[in-house]
A and B are shown apart, each in its own frame.
Chain A
């Protein structure tokens, strides 16, 4: 889920030109906990017997002719692999667009007997990291049909 260009420019300017004092708006914690993380549909994953999970991230899914030729010539791998530990794998499997961040926090805390705060901090940090790498996007449920 990409931000509109207007906001992207605004945040980039704020990041590299600090004297403009452009700060991103404060994120409402309540709203953030109600977002639903969903996986990038280009990724595939494999679960090992040990509980670890290996993600396959395609390196270039829309290659130009030149890139395609170069990668073929140099035998670049078509996908890179990211290994998630057992807890990471558990959270990843819950990122299906139906669970909210709040539900994932609760479920992870319950599964691994973690304190609520610890579970919230670790799950939100992990989701943030996945989002930065474009492995997941956040959805907001808009209007529920009866």
Chain B
């Protein structure tokens, strides 16, 4: 079938597809480093930091929208300048069985003033005038664990935000919705949605990691070690000592599975040689699933220790993996766990808490 440019197809006007959602859903769940919130459909993470103690998250509205959500957090218990004392003190405390010191009292007002001063400074540089207003401090959350202050500012753009200190996780968190000056109502609506759903710590011992249709809960002790966010492929690697969880998500499954079987695809992309492990193939809720379980060889254990920067804590001895194809979202998911013999339920819990559609 040879074609040239003269073969005209039925023209598709942009208006016809403008309202077509890519994946039909009511909300976008965003989760990163213990922070989680709900936003309108198709909002996407566009910026993030790898650090858990202090970092930021940026989520943008889809298409031609100009609204943005920015979330910044810092650990109030973390000293600003880390000295030799701060490195040794926790070890001595553990050795002497002394309780850790109480975190310093956080002055929310001072923190907010500093934040507003910074954005005023930035606005001044670009020649715009910024007016900010703040509201009084109030207590929020279960058992009044949060002290919070609302604020808003107007300049060339407009912002509405909230700063809070959570006594449970010791985080100071600043969240704001930014937009153009004329978008006051839209900003207010998004802000109310954001502030009502925003959480800075997990309540069930599992951190939510949710971005680009991937939604998985990982035990709190695991820290994000590396990530790959490519178009059509997402990989998140978590570590706890030498234990490791690798979550992979491939898009365009229908294209991939025309050329490869699910088993071949995973065998090519798994981080270990899968020949030695026992394989179970099942189908659950229309999802083809393949599970690999087995013991790691001494060489693979050493490799795991090397990849964990020679950490000898929780040296893994077991490998468990599951890959599945979700036709509803047209994605292939894979969860691999290198675990210590004691951490029995890690893999089961992570797979159970991974939402594919």
> Chain A: residues with CB nearer than 8 A to chain B?
29-30, 33, 39, 41, 43-47, 50-51, 85-87, 93-94, 96, 98-100, 102-103, 106-107, 109-110, 112-119, 121-122, 125
Contacts and interface: CB of A to CB of B under 8 A. Distances in A.
B64 A116 contact: no
A117 B316 CA distance: 37
Contact of B14 (A102, A113, A125): A102
Contacts of A46: 1-3
Given A29-B64, A45-B3, A98 B12 contact: yes
Given A39-B5, A107-B17, A122-B232, A116 B44 contact: yes
Given A86-B255, A114-B232, 7 more contacts: A102-B18, A107-B12, A107-B17, A112-B252, A112-B330, A114-B22, A117-B44
B252 A106 contact: no
Contact of B11 (A39, A50, A98): A98
Contacts of A106: 14, 17-18, 20, 22
Interface in B11-53: 11-14, 16-18, 20-23, 42, 44, 46
A32 to B, nearest CB: 10
Interface residues of B, number: 36
28 contacts: A43-B5, A44-B3, A45-B2, A46-B2, A46-B3, A86-B255, A87-B252, A87-B255, A94-B12, A98-B13, A99-B12, A102-B63, A102-B64, A103-B17, A106-B20, A110-B22, A112-B252, A113-B23, A114-B251, A115-B22, A115-B213, A117-B42, A117-B46, A117-B62, A117-B212, A118-B212, A118-B251, A125-B231
A103 B13 contact: yes
Interface of B: 1-5, 8-9, 11-14, 16-18, 20-23, 42, 44, 46, 62-64, 212-213, 231-232, 251-252, 254-255, 258, 329-331
Contacts of A86: 255, 258
B231 A118 contact: yes
Nearest to B251: A114
A45 B254 CA distance: 23
A33 B64 contact: yes
State the 8 A-B residue pairs at the shortest beta-carbon distance, nearest first: A109-B22, A103-B14, A113-B330, A117-B44, A98-B11, A122-B231, A106-B17, A116-B42
A116 B63 contact: yes
Kindly name the residue among A29, A86, A94, A113 whose own CB sees the greatest number of chain B CB atoms within 10 A.
A113
A47 B232 contact: no
B14 A100 contact: yes
A112 B254 contact: yes
Nearest to A86: B255
Given A39-B5, A44-B2, A122-B232, A113 B255 contact: no
B249 to A, nearest CB: 10
Contacts of B3: 44-47
A100 B14 CA distance: 7
A41 B1 contact: no
Contacts of A33: 63-64
